[in-house]
Structure 1
Amino acid sequence: MLVDATSAGYAAATRPHNSSVEQRPARVALISRPEDLAPALAEVVALSRSRGAPLEVVPQATGHGAGAPVNGGAVLLDTSQLAGVSIDPRRRTAVVGAGATWAAVNAAAERHGLLGLAGSAPSVSVSGYTFGGGIGWLVRQDGLASGALRAVHYVDGAGRRRTAADDAADDVDGEALWAFRGAGGVGIAHTLELDLVPAPDLHAGALLWHADALPDLVGAWSSTLGAVGSSVSSSIGVLHVPPLPAFPQELHGSVAIHLAIADPDGPAAAAPLLHALRAVTAPVVDTWGPTDAAGLARIHFDPPTATPAIGDARWLDASTPGIAEALLATAADDDAGMVMMEIRHVAGAPARRTGAVVTPPGEFIYHAVAPLNVIPRQRSQAAFARARSVWTTADAGTTPGSWVEGAARVPDALPPDVRARAAAIADAVDPDARIRRTRLLG
């Protein structure tokens, strides 16, 4: 059903989690069942004819990846109500709607001793996150979420219902699954089938120190990474602490060093890293210990509400520990032009299946975020440029596209050959280009 700006459904759908760009589409298509997709596309075609100009269809679930304008030449297709979650504990799989969040999936999965390969933010949709690769806290043991993708049920540009699967009878559907695994996907997805993984002794935590300990803390992190087990994922970063209840008052308004660390297999493999950093100086905050999926989702301190923000990110190579201190120091000044910068350790992640991006293109990730309601865009872009002058020596060549908040396009997220193949698949699925291409291809 298409609704206009007078509808409550229109207002709700056009408030994405990343509110850095205004959304004012001609209409919003409210999708509550997969069966609604074909009629909605037919309505868009009819409306386009009556207006004498084609309307672009823009799918959106939670809007964490929102960054491109959505104006009067488009219809926003709201899939947030496709939020069903079904767990098969015997097969260790989940069948979920494209609008389901990781919080909902893992709340259901952990009742059976399982987890999905969720990211840092529990409110992000499973679909957009997975189609962009999906880099979470279990990555070093279980790989990218894209590699856990078993099948995708979707519609093409003509509204035909299709299933992207490795054993699909139609070659287009087999190729479509390849594109859904890390190239942003094609068509309009409505249901995903995913592998779940066991997490028999999940431990995780966030540790915070005052920023004056940055050189010694980063040095301890860099020199101890080789001593941790292959299941341990961590990030070390600089955080400009907001005056929120999640943080102790003594850190409010200050700059802190933030370690986020997780291991699904217990505390032993992370012990060398934790011991080394705690030995530098006692942390102000230390939440390391046994936890559940909700606790795992809190270690990154992602904002719980819609935030206008822009981000910067890059895959980095094995030389990153050598530049870590200099890189993080660019974010440590009071007027640094960003609220957060991190270096995430992802080396050794396995590949479960073939796809566009199913293994990390680098051993580390640089990531920085600036909220536009606090920091002017020009100052943030200058801060990102300062960081780039440091990390360029460790550049692995591509960008983790889903980590670049507020961007309309991320043209360097995929190698040229991967991008060309994914674009050809998108053209085959939607030859009339009715559906907006993912920002990894745009």
Structure 2
Amino acid sequence: MLFKIAWRNIWRSRIRSVVVILSVAIGVWALSFVLSFSNGITYTYISNAIRDQLSHLQLHNPKFPEDKNSKFFLTDVSKKLDTIRQMPEVEATTARAIATGMVSSARTASGVKIVGVIPASEMKVTHFEKNIKEGEYFKEDRHNEILLSERTAEKLKVKLRSRVVLTFQNLDGDITTAAFRVVGLFSTGNMITDEGSVYVKADDLKKNLIPQTSESDSLAAQSVVSQDIAQEIAIYLKDAKLVGDVKKKLQALFPGTLVEDYWQLSPDIELYETQIHTSNNIIIIIFMLALIFGIINTMLMAVLERYKELGMLMAIGMNKVKIFTMIVLETLMLGLVAAPLGLGLGLLTVHLLQDKGIDLKAFAAGLERFGISTTIFPVLDPGLYARIALAVLITTLLASLYPARKAVKLDPVEALHKI
């Protein structure tokens, strides 16, 4: 009975109720869009980092991460790759040769991370070829090719077909140099990655890592000759949710190898996720506070307008609990009508923007400094929907308490004599 009365009471003042419902719905719509945009930034940042650079998991020699010295490499790489490829959770894997050194032109030089890739398998793991803006990707029948970022090329004052020199330490710690020709310029949208890395073929890098003394019989030299070493193995999974399980399997399969997931490889990802999550919670709290004051104001007006009516109900025997419950129900019903409307508009907006995304090229320079893409695709996941719906429910419930308390505190005799 109270539900029916509360529902009818809402529509006694249609204009006011519609205004409240629209206000709440627009607020929920704006909230859902802001949160989906915020989530989109996070997901875009993480997915770009995984797809363009990190992959889901990486294998290293346990000593390699300490100083990035090429002499700390993995052995029996072919066997490891074959084992990894047989795992059903793995979409693709590749090996990389890595050295830290300097790239120089006739004009200037710059410190870089030199990444030696296997072109065919690297394409399956990172899709790096899609980041090439000028020139082309590696060709199988050519040697000593190099890919530079547009930023690095501009800094070195070089262009396509220019020659640059890489300087780095070989496996014996001696300084070695090698000339490469620029075949492509790339841009990942991440300024740190673009300025800090250059890409060559793994075979070209390996043959320069071997010491030039033919009598060298060190294990490192023998391994390089056999082409079965790598400083890094990158693994891309079919589903990011499988990272934990696959990591445990790899640790069991390769006990002497360091296995790291993308959170460990790039701690800023976890920090970024935490910051965005905290920011979202703050936004929800601000929304709830604004909504509470708006609803309290509206419901107080409704209570004051019905002052005499409420006094009459109490005079004929309606107890205070029912009066209190009726006011609470009226408030909750307004929220329950508005929330689905706002969430529906939010879902529609996100759906319309999911294909093309939101273009932020006007802020490209600032975004690239933080490794954020200039095109953001909003993401509104079911968990976020639930949080928004719960926030609206809690807000309307809290907002109803003060007007309801005000209603039960009135004096029936005084209310009946009120004009």
TM-score range, shorter chain: under 0.3
Which has the greater radius of gyration? 2
> What TM-score, normalized by structure 1, do the two folds share?
0.20
Q: Which structure has greater strand proportion?
A: 1
Q: Which structure has greater helix proportion?
A: 2
Higher relative contact order (Cα pairs below 8 Å, separated by 6+ residues): 2
> What TM-score, normalized by structure 2, do the two folds share?
0.21
